[in-house]
Chain A
């Protein structure tokens, strides 16, 4: 899922304070799991912003709402009139939701979160990055652990010389992806795989190749 983190209130306030009526708009899927941008969080953020407005003697009107997902048209139907009635939206969705809304409505849509990574729920309250959507999955070769997302230098033939007691050279709190890969290959009895050189990667399917698009002709409704 997509993990996000709320922006500091000061930064948010700076974006919205000159508007008259602002909707704080939650997205109740990915960013609700990390309890940063769900509808409940949007509600809490709205009340904090109302308090801020009172403190500053700013007459801004702040309302809140939310939908299931801000990255699909169908979910917007019910809240359509509400969005039409404000002069700006603070979206607490990931960057996808913010942009999707900006394409739909001719009012400013501000981001309430910093979209941080594609990750998993390691344990309650702990989220970790696992994938960078490079567009050409190599997990089959690396024991199911991604060196692109999880190695600080994305070395495809690791570990580098900085791996120490299972930790990455940049920080003792970060596990060395290549230590994990070696451990896993051992567990799977596939250590022979370690000595195969991972070839030079074609990054054209990655961000490097420009914005990506997937078209499923069979699903496209031709009007």
Chain B
């Protein structure tokens, strides 16, 4: 991407546009009101990542708001990525929360539709879906680039957010997964964090399609990785998590490892994957999601040759 003009004050944008591999990770807010739980997780990873995603009631389990946790990161001088799902809020609430985040100079947003509420603790709840994830992207871009609300009125001190989206190269139908990315780019996605990659061959096939269409020059693609803690986790991800592609070899490799060494093996697989993905054309960074295992992020980042993080 030759365009070095920064659109926002986002550190993530700066790093990507400077041509470095960017590294992000994520923290889930607590199921309670203790902000220090967020700070503690962030402390573990802050020197090894450029920005930290804060999830928004992931898997539809009710938690502290993503925005509140992002603000806590700001007070620590860190760079949050506000995740926002369209499941729980209509366009009034979404725009209002975007402004709330902008008021705290939160400069990154990840627009998602969110898991269905039936997965979480509120299966009897309504889902809103006034907008979908692509339309939320359009909303963010309109608010930022045109200083306008969806309703058309002007925004004073508009948000300055680097706008991102998720992509799942493994969901079905596979044949439209590149077209779907093209749609997200057209909707305004400046960076993409992918679903956890275990099937590297399939990911590379998808990336080839992405590169063939030149989409890698229009958006920054960050490969998503989640280290496996055990063979049990690998089996669970393979069989129970919708849209997840875990090849048999990965499950077997972990299952063939003695139980007390499986976590270590999981980290090894993660590092090997990053090393291989670094060579894939169009991959511009890594999103390391060590779920409730944040303390492993530094080792993964260091051993993948992604440390120290660049100063920008």
Chain A interface residues (CB < 8 Å from chain B):
152-166, 169-170, 176, 179, 182-183, 194-195, 197, 199-201, 203
Q: Which residues of B contact A203 (CB under 8 A)?
A: 130
Contact A157 B242 (CB under 8 A): no
**Most interface-central of B150, B183, B242 (chain A CB within 10 A):** B242
B187 at interface (Cβ–Cβ under 8 A)? Answer: yes
B129 at interface (Cβ–Cβ under 8 A)? Answer: yes
B108 at interface (Cβ–Cβ under 8 A)? Answer: no
Contact B172 A164 (CB under 8 A): yes
Residues of A contacting B: mostly? loop
Contact A194 B243 (CB under 8 A): no
Question: Would A157 and B116 be within 8 Å (CB), given that A162-B242, A179-B173, A200-B135 are in contact?
Answer: no
Contact A153 B127 (CB under 8 A): yes
Interface residues of B in 55-114 (CB under 8 A from A): 87, 91, 113-114
B122 at interface (Cβ–Cβ under 8 A)? Answer: no
Contact A197 B173 (CB under 8 A): no
Determine how close the nearest CB of chain B comes to the CB of A155; give it in whole angstroms.
Answer: 4
B204 at interface (Cβ–Cβ under 8 A)? Answer: no
A25–B11 CA distance with the chains assembled, in angstroms: 68
Contact A162 B116 (CB under 8 A): yes
Q: Which residues of B contact A201 (CB under 8 A)?
A: 130
B: contact size bracket: 35 or more
Contact B113 A200 (CB under 8 A): no
Contact A159 B172 (CB under 8 A): yes
B291 at interface (Cβ–Cβ under 8 A)? Answer: no
Residue of A with least CB distance to B172: A163
Task: Choose among A153, A155, A159, A183 the residue that contacts B171 (Cβ–Cβ < 8 A).
Answer: A159
Contact B172 A165 (CB under 8 A): yes
Determine how close the nearest CB of chain B comes to the CB of A168; give it in whole angstroms.
Answer: 8
Question: Would A182 and B116 be within 8 Å (CB), given that A164-B242, A200-B131, A200-B135 are in contact?
Answer: no
Q: Which residues of A contact B172 (CB under 8 A)?
A: 159, 163-166, 176, 179
A149–B187 CA distance with the chains assembled, in angstroms: 24
Q: Which residues of B contact A157 (CB under 8 A)?
A: 132-135, 183, 187
Q: Which residues of B contact A166 (CB under 8 A)?
A: 172-173
B18 at interface (Cβ–Cβ under 8 A)? Answer: no
Q: Pick the 4 closest A-B CB pairs, nearest first.
A: A161-B168, A169-B242, A162-B242, A155-B132
Contact B179 A195 (CB under 8 A): yes
A156–B150 CA distance with the chains assembled, in angstroms: 17
Residue of B with least CB distance to A159: B171
Residue of A with least CB distance to B195: A161
Q: Which residues of B contact A183 (CB under 8 A)?
A: 173
A140–B168 CA distance with the chains assembled, in angstroms: 27
Additional A-B contact list (5), CB under 8 Å, known A165-B172, A194-B179: A153-B113, A160-B133, A169-B115, A170-B119, A182-B175
